[in-house]
Copies of this chain bind each other. A is one copy, B any other.
Amino acid sequence: MADTATDPRPVCVLGVGLIGGSLLRALGPGGAFGWNRSATTARAATADGADVSTDLPAVLHRAAESDALVVVAVPLPALGAVLDAVAGHAPGVALTDVVSVKAPVLAAVRARGLGARFVGGHPMAGTADSGWAATDPELFRGATWLVAADDDADPDTWARVAGLAGRCGSRVVAAASPEHDAAVARISHLPHVLAEALAVSGAAGGALALALAAGSFRDGTRVAGTAPDLVRAICEPNRDALLPVLEECLLLLTAARDSLRDDDELGALVDGGHLARAAYEASAAGTAEPVVVVPGTPGWLETARGAGAEGRAVRLG
């Protein structure tokens, strides 16, 4: 297993938008290089001191020769084409990604025979902005970085991905890909859908309603400022997990509506929401020690997933 603190193998980032570009900047030019389709972006990144090319085959050959950890950081619609190139030019590389769903990415990777050295990832960080200009080397500091703990995960690659997250200042939480997708439907994709609905409902009140809007509306609609194409690219590929969560939320809201209509009160939702927010605040303040995981030792995947199910981080032992 790699000693991640001294691992001399570089990181290769494919796509230097907000997440990929911030990752490249967090690692610095010495140990990381990248590719981007847009020459304008590649030039901007190069001008800022990053090692970024627009020649994908050349970048992939360099990754294969240096046994780089390749990080796929393109939006999901571009994933297939990039994975095709990896399969064609560097089929044996260690591979991870930063896409916001994990099961569809895992399926796409396996369909191209790239599964043996693939471990999915998802840094839970971002802003409503996008592109190289929005990148920030500190974007991942203090964030949670999901490292997928799927059956048959390669221990060496898993350690490298977890080590990468640690180098960027993130805490590592482990879960199987479908568990991740079910969780983010609740805490990332549903918030997007509700924010859009709140924004529409508020603006339907016209200029007076918007002039009276204060903190609750501002915060509740913040992520509706995200570019629509990005919202769709984040939420729609997780349809199978998002649909039942959206159904569940509709039931909660319908019950509150019925209670308000029939009994003049919002009912159980108010106390339930307050308790739930308190549980989140306690979780966010989480002081539990990380669980030590030694990739490759017996039961390591179960240990990692068990920690994630309890909301606890893991650290490499």
Asked whether A286 lies within 8 Å of B211 as measured between CB atoms, the reply is: yes
The answer, among B144, B196, B223, B269, for a CB contact under 8 Å with A193, is: B269
Which A152-211 residues have a C-beta within 8 angstroms of B? 173, 175, 179-180, 182-184, 186-188, 190-211
Which A122-161 residues have a C-beta within 8 angstroms of B? 124-127, 143-144, 146
Asked whether A207 lies within 8 Å of B309 as measured between CB atoms, the reply is: yes
A30 part of interface (Cβ distance < 8 Å): no
The answer, among B204, B211, B222, B309, for a CB contact under 8 Å with A308, is: B211
List chain B residues, Cβ under 8 A from A279.
203, 210
Asked whether B188 lies within 8 Å of A280 as measured between CB atoms, the reply is: no
A110 part of interface (Cβ distance < 8 Å): no
- What's the nearest-Cβ distance from chain B to residue A176, in Å? 10
List chain B residues, Cβ under 8 A from A239.
260, 264
The answer, among B188, B205, B208, B250, for a CB contact under 8 Å with A257, is: B250
Interface 0/1 of A241-265, CB less than 8 Å to B: 0110111111011101100110011
Contact sample, A vs B, 18 pairs, CB 8 Å cutoff: A124-B213, A179-B208, A182-B205, A186-B205, A187-B205, A187-B209, A188-B214, A188-B217, A192-B216, A200-B252, A200-B269, A200-B273, A200-B276, A201-B249, A215-B222, A228-B274, A231-B266, A236-B266
Interface 0/1 of A285-317, CB less than 8 Å to B: 010000000000000000000001111110000
List chain B residues, Cβ under 8 A from A211.
144, 173, 283, 286, 308, 311-313
Asked whether B219 lies within 8 Å of A146 as measured between CB atoms, the reply is: no
Asked whether A274 lies within 8 Å of B202 as measured between CB atoms, the reply is: no
A266 to B228, CA, bound (A): 10
Count identical subunits in the complex.
2
A277 part of interface (Cβ distance < 8 Å): yes
List chain B residues, Cβ under 8 A from A283.
207, 210-211, 213
Asked whether B212 lies within 8 Å of A144 as measured between CB atoms, the reply is: yes
List chain B residues, Cβ under 8 A from A193.
253, 256, 266, 269
The answer, among B187, B218, B226, for a CB contact under 8 Å with A284, is: B218
- What's the nearest-Cβ distance from chain B to residue A254, in Å? 6
A37 part of interface (Cβ distance < 8 Å): no
Closest-by-CB residue of B relative to A247 is B257
A281 part of interface (Cβ distance < 8 Å): yes
Asked whether B124 lies within 8 Å of A277 as measured between CB atoms, the reply is: no
List chain B residues, Cβ under 8 A from A313.
211
Q: Give the top 5 A-B pairs by smallest Cβ distance, nearest first.
A: A196-B273, A207-B311, A203-B276, A199-B276, A211-B311
List chain B residues, Cβ under 8 A from A194.
194, 197-198, 220, 253
Since A187-B216, A236-B264, A243-B261 are in contact, a sample of 10 more A-B pairs with Cβ atoms closer than 8 Å, ordered by chain A residue number, is A124-B213, A127-B215, A196-B269, A197-B256, A201-B248, A203-B279, A211-B312, A213-B283, A231-B270, A242-B260
List chain B residues, Cβ under 8 A from A215.
126-127, 222-223
Closest-by-CB residue of B relative to A179 is B208
List chain B residues, Cβ under 8 A from A284.
210, 213, 218
